[in-house]
Amino acid sequence: MPAPHEFVVVANRLPADIRVDEEGNVSSTPAPGGLVTALAPVMRAQDGAWVGWSGSADQLLDPFDADGMHLVPVPLSEQEVARYYEGFSNATLWPLYHDVIVPPEFHRIWWNSYVEVNRRFAEAAAGTAEKGATVWVQDYQLQLVPEMLRRLRPDVRIGFFDHIPFPSVELFGQLPWRRQVIEGLLGADLIGFQRTGDAANFLRAVRRFTSHSTRGQQITIGQHWNRPERHVRVGTFPISIDSQKVDQLARTEKITKRAAQLRTELGDPDVLMLGVDRLDYTKGIRHRIKAFGELVAEKKVTVPRTALVQVASPSREQVEQYKTLRQEVEVMVGNINGDHGSWGRSAIYYMHHSYPFEEMVALYRAADVMLVTALRDGMNLVAKEYVAARPDLGGALVLSEFAGAADELSHALLINPHDIEGMKEAILKAATMGPAEQRRRMRTLRKRVLENDVQSWAKKFLSVLQNMPQRTSHV
């Protein structure tokens, strides 16, 4: 049994890459995501623990300490990876919550596995939290954990943050287990969303599919058997990045030199455009490539004076819709390069792998135009990273209004990625934008991103959660 902790994060993934050698020795390297950056100081100050999956099937690991944090691995069998992770999380909930861009699949065996795995996470959290601890559950993979944990540990404060969109009630209503998911979430004291629209959709779903009453941002759960009446609060907390870190990195000589070198390696184009995404159908990569391909075909931009770098990092590769997307994107890139490339020069430089963060910051620094064309996205941190990586006030951001980031980054060139002509116009405008307009827009964008960083996001959420009236525990 691990020692009890005052602060517990519960997320599908642990913030570390774990390796086990042939003798069974475990070693880990930190996986520096935005979430862990935000929470690391809180974890250290409050003796925090992180409950999550290692990312490999059938790995039975004891809790261990890494990078000043206590990690509690939750094992998943191969079948659970297929049913809970690839199935219900990423082929049911993910497409359903992203406006059914691809059709979600509803399978009872996937749902059963989701329930079982959520219970395992709840039990691990219950065994890790000290009396009266704060437990912060993350994202769509674990929506049943708040209620399951509340039953096990009525003494702890529970927060939940949904990193992805919460869909309209008409779409959410398709889910055969819609009521159970809502009740699962309502086990939390505070439920956070990225956009006000997500919070409003959730409140509407509560009214439609449960009998709980809502008033403003508060839901009242009536007294039931030995469970007293209680209130759940809903709020909007747009997530961010470690803006200072990106800004400072982007100012270093190493990065500015690498940015210049990258431009040289890419044939010194007049205009370098950039897309950076997980290879996911929500990101609008096909729409973006279509728009770029048409601009080239219509000679509105010329190759190699204009080049597009598309970094598409591999993601969820066992899920069918991701395999299809990869083929479609690669055929499109191949067609455009076949038609418009020349020896040693491509129209599109397409990379299906990940890069170290420093290389990404150098790419951001090098790119004249950043294309974020998501069809639906909870926030999109790439947009914020690009802005933070431009202390020189150069570059132009083309940003989809369907990304959560658009609420804050209204000084970007906002687009509807379904409107290919509109997107082409915005891309051309970005490509020809003068330095004065770039500077004016970038200054406003940077103010938002530097003021609202991921540390302040975590602080705001936790201060609302921790200032809520203390729970009266019951028998």
- Name the residues that contact ligand G6P, by CB under 6 A: 12-13, 139, 163-164, 315-316
Q: Where are the alpha helices (DSSP H) in 129-234?
A: 145-152, 169-172, 178-185, 196-209
Nearest-angstrom CA–CA distance, 257 and 434 = 23
Nearest approach, Cβ of residue 315 and ligand G6P (Å): 6
Least Å from the CB of residue 277 to ligand G6P = 11
- Collapsed DSSP state (helix, strand, coil) of residue 279: coil
Q: SS3 for 197?
A: helix
Nearer to ligand G6P, 163 or 230 (CB): 163
Tell me how far the alpha carbon of residue 75 is from its chain's centroid. Answer: 23
Cβ nearer to ligand G6P, comparing 13 with 448: 13
Taking the least distance from each CB to ligand G6P, the nearer of 83 and 163 is 163
Pairing assessment for the beta strands 64-66 and 271-278 based on DSSP bridges = unpaired
Q: Which is nearer to ligand G6P, 13 or 83 (CB)?
A: 13
Nearer to ligand G6P, 290 or 352 (CB): 352
Q: Which residue is nearest to ligand G6P (CB)?
A: 163
- Taking the C-alpha atoms of residue 423 and residue 371, their distance in angstroms, rounded to an integer, is 10
User: Which of 85, 63, 81, 84 has its CA nearest to residue 73?
Assistant: 63
Closer to ligand G6P at the Cβ: 139 or 408?
A: 139
Q: How many residues does the chain have?
A: 475
CB nearer ligand G6P, residue 36 or residue 423:
36
**C-beta of 270: minimal distance to ligand G6P in Å?**
34
Quick one: 71 or 164, whose CB is closer to ligand G6P? 164
DSSP per residue over 100-135, as a string? TSS-----HHHHHHHHHHHHHHHHHHHHHEEEEEEE
- In whole angstroms, how close is the CB of 465 to ligand G6P at the nearest point? 20
Which residue, 307 or 312, is less far from ligand G6P as judged by CB? 312
For residues 424-442, one letter each, b for 16 or more C-beta atoms within 10 angstroms of the residue's C-beta and e for the rest, the string is bbbbbebbebeeeebbebb
Least distance CB 164 / ligand G6P (angstroms): 5
Query: 273: which strand partners?
Result: 308, 369
Q: Considering the complex, what minimum distance in angstroms separates the CB of residue 5 from ligand G6P?
A: 22
Least separation in angstroms between residue 16's CB and ligand G6P is: 13
Asked if residues 78 and 117 have their Cβ atoms less than 8 Å apart, the reply is no
Neighbours of 202 (CB within 10 A): 23
Cβ count near 407 (within 10 Å): 16
Minimum distance, C-beta of residue 299 to ligand G6P, in the bound complex (Å):
38
Q: Are 412 and 400 in contact (CB under 8 A)?
A: no
Considering the complex, what minimum distance in angstroms separates the CB of residue 307 from ligand G6P? 28
Query: Is the peptide bond prior to 228 cis by the omega test (within 30 degrees of 0)?
Result: no
Helix (H) or strand (E) holding 324: helix 320-340
Q: State in angstroms the smallest separation of the CB of 139 from ligand G6P.
A: 4
Question: Is residue 123 classed exposed, middle or buried when 0-12, 13-18 and 19+ CB atoms within 10 A define those classes?
Answer: middle
Q: Toward ligand G6P, which CB reaches closer, 185 or 301?
A: 185
CB of 393 to ligand G6P, least distance (A): 29
201/378 Cα distance (integer angstroms): 13
Residue 89 or 452: the one with the smaller Cβ distance to ligand G6P is 89
Question: Residue 289 and residue 293: Cα distance in Å, rounded?
Answer: 6
